[in-house]
Structure 1
Amino acid sequence: MRHFGWIVVAAPVAALLLAACGDEEAPVSASPSDAPSSDDSGRLYTGIFTVLENAEHGPQLCTAVASSLPPQCGGPDVAGWNWDEAPDAETVDGVTWGFYSVTGTWDGTTLTLTEPPLAGAATSPMVPDDALPDFTTPCEPPPGGWAVVDPATATDAGQASIGAYTGAQADWAGTWIDTSVEPAVLNVRFTGDLERHEAELRSMWGGPLCVSAAERSMRELTAIQEELVGSVPHLTSVGPEATANVVLLDVFVDDGLQEQLDQQYGPGVVRVSAALRPAE
């Protein structure tokens, strides 16, 4: 098991590493709804947040924290908060904050506590290793193992040439480097015509190379990303993930959003990760 940190990976780069994507403006999609999620059933939600109160507002769940002293942040209000029940709180210049696991009901704008907060450091969220991106190479090693076949083109210039090539291909589906083997293997995915692409890439790159198939192109995944940017409320980050050939979506609260996106794009095409989620 490993601690989970949000990952945003997407568009082509010359260095052939997975890069951040998703800061462009995007058209608004008709679905999902822009209305804030709410739950009137009394369902409990839980999450781990920095909670902060200052002179301008009461206790709030931080959706982003400025690394100053005291810190600054904003987010949904927390009702029923009592700093006397919040362990390890800090106060500087009239600002009080701490890192907590919180549980309560959610009405779309406010989390109302149903139990005292717990120290967040001891309850940091974790996910199974198989839920993290898998950067291992899907191709079988060639006879004799992975090796540099042409040192003259196993260079930064060769990598840059591949970056330019893949960026121009409509069926390109992602690029990453597998450093779990030595020498590291360059992985490139396409939705079709693998033999032609491999021949083109081999003329540019003399290092270990794996060309594999994917169901969806990076252009398709990026189009989904752009729709989500314009339509999903409480969105934190979003971007294609090449190794799983999906779009990763980070939101403040998931109130049935995963099921809705499965219906809209197909099961598992968009993977939702929420800071505030239904309690088990």
Structure 2
Amino acid sequence: MRHVGWIVAAPVAALLLAACGDEGAPVSASPSDAPPSADPGQAYTGFFTVLENAEHGPQLCSTVLESHPPQCGGPDVLGWNWDEAPDAETANGVTWGYYSVTGTWDGSALTLTEPPLPGAATSPMVPDDAVPDLTSPCEPPAGGWAVVDAATATQAALDAALAHAASRPDYAGAWVDQSINPATDEAAMNDPTKLVLNVRFTGDLEQHEADLRAIWGGALCVSAAEHTEQELLAIQEDVLTELGELASGAGTDPTTGTVSVDVFVDDGLQERLDQQYGGVVIVHAALRPVD
């Protein structure tokens, strides 16, 4: 697994722990026909918390609020029987559990075709490609990444550099590469003298690096991006507006210059968005087709 650091959202007062470009200018979204209906005979599988309460029957959770009992909402699961669901918990009128589910998808609900399996026992390890690659794209300087000015290699200077970068109209995002820090405990991993600040812009990189160097004395990598953060956020908003309830979440990734969108089923959606946005939008489907 890769060494995980932070992706930075702006404007910034602190660093945020990471959760989620292509050539050409961003393409504006335009209204389009609804996605085609799913193949009624195609089976899909995935791992979900399934929850039922007084307001609704069993549903696949898109986001789980970690209260007790938990709270969530999502598509209905048809054909669900809690007697066939191992390790279910019940509290205050809420029943839930984490499962591997398999069934057919009609565009709004999953109909089970197999009994659920306990998710904790069957879910795979998180693959490397699910973790953001926070490696600095710049070549390390001679002698390796190091502090240039100890007086300005502080958390306050880091915050000031991030705030300055985010105020530039061609700002494209920022993240922290902690791969040069051998520490494993959280406090030591946050040492500002043992990280590389990565900032991306679409404009004059030399000027931006000089401006940031006047503020930040730690290791620094300034690199080029195809799209500004505001352009990516505009695409994200357009996609969420277009998909409506078909999307369960979205985000921007400055390390790749892309927008990610979470859906339950990719029924030709990636291909359609590729045509519309030129590869800037990446679809993540929670339900995968069963061969």
TM-score (norm 1): 0.83
* Kept in 1: contact 2:8–2:174 (CA 8 A): no
What is the deviation of 1:11?
3.0
Please give the per-residue CA displacement for 1:127-177, whole angstroms capped at 9, x wherever unaligned: 531342111112222112222111222233422332232122222211111
Matched AA of 2:200: R
Residue in 2 aligned with 1:241? 253
1:254 aligns with 2:243: no
1:181 and 1:154 map into 2 onto residues whose CA distance is 15
* Kept in 2: contact 1:48–1:275 (CA 8 A): yes
1:102 aligns with 2:113: no
Residue in 1 aligned with 2:240? 229
* Kept in 1: contact 2:7–2:174 (CA 8 A): no
What is the deviation of 1:241?
0.8
* Kept in 2: contact 1:50–1:99 (CA 8 A): yes
* Kept in 1: contact 2:10–2:163 (CA 8 A): no
* Kept in 2: contact 1:10–1:239 (CA 8 A): no
Please give the per-residue CA displacement for 1:193-214, whole angstroms capped at 9, x wherever unaligned: 1111111111111111111122
1:60 aligns with 2:59: yes
Matched AA of 1:278: P
Within 5 A, what are the aligned runs for 1:56-205?
A: 56-182=55-181, 183-205=194-216
Matched AA of 1:262: D
Please give the per-residue CA displacement for 1:30-60, whole angstroms capped at 9, x wherever unaligned: 3455x58732441112221122234443322
1:266 aligns with 2:278: yes
Matched AA of 2:276: Q
Unaligned runs of 5+ in 1: 22-27
| Percent of matched pairs sharing the same residue | 67
2:151 and 2:55 map into 1 onto residues whose CA distance is 62
Q: Which has more strand, going by share of residues?
A: 1
1:277–1:37 Cα change, 3 Å: farther
2:67 and 2:157 map into 1 onto residues whose CA distance is 42
User: What SS does structure 1 have at the residue aligned with 2:64?
Assistant: strand
Equivalent pairs counted in the alignment come to: 268
Residue in 2 aligned with 1:219? 230
2:108 and 2:87 map into 1 onto residues whose CA distance is 26
Name whichever of 227-236 and 61-70 sits farther off.
Answer: 61-70
2:196 and 2:124 map into 1 onto residues whose CA distance is 32
Matched AA of 1:30: S
- The CA RMSD over aligned residues, in Å, is 2.8
2:18 and 2:168 map into 1 onto residues whose CA distance is 18
1:125 and 1:141 map into 2 onto residues whose CA distance is 35
* Kept in 2: contact 1:11–1:18 (CA 8 A): no
2:70 and 2:13 map into 1 onto residues whose CA distance is 37
User: What SS does structure 2 have at the residue aligned with 1:232?
Assistant: helix
Name whichever of 210-219 and 12-21 sits farther off.
Answer: 12-21
Residue in 2 aligned with 1:208? 219
User: What SS does structure 1 have at the residue aligned with 2:110?
Assistant: strand
1:225 and 1:237 map into 2 onto residues whose CA distance is 10
Q: Which has more helix, going by share of residues?
A: 2
Name whichever of 256-265 and 58-67 sits farther off.
Answer: 58-67
* Kept in 2: contact 1:10–1:222 (CA 8 A): no
1:104–1:186 Cα change, 3 Å: same
Please give the per-residue CA displacement for 1:187-241, whole angstroms capped at 9, x wherever unaligned: 1111231111111111111111111122222121111112123222332221211
* Kept in 1: contact 2:103–2:110 (CA 8 A): yes
Unaligned runs of 5+ in 2: 21-27, 182-193
Residue in 2 aligned with 1:24? none
Matched AA of 1:224: I
1:229 and 1:59 map into 2 onto residues whose CA distance is 25
1:172–1:70 Cα change, 3 Å: closer
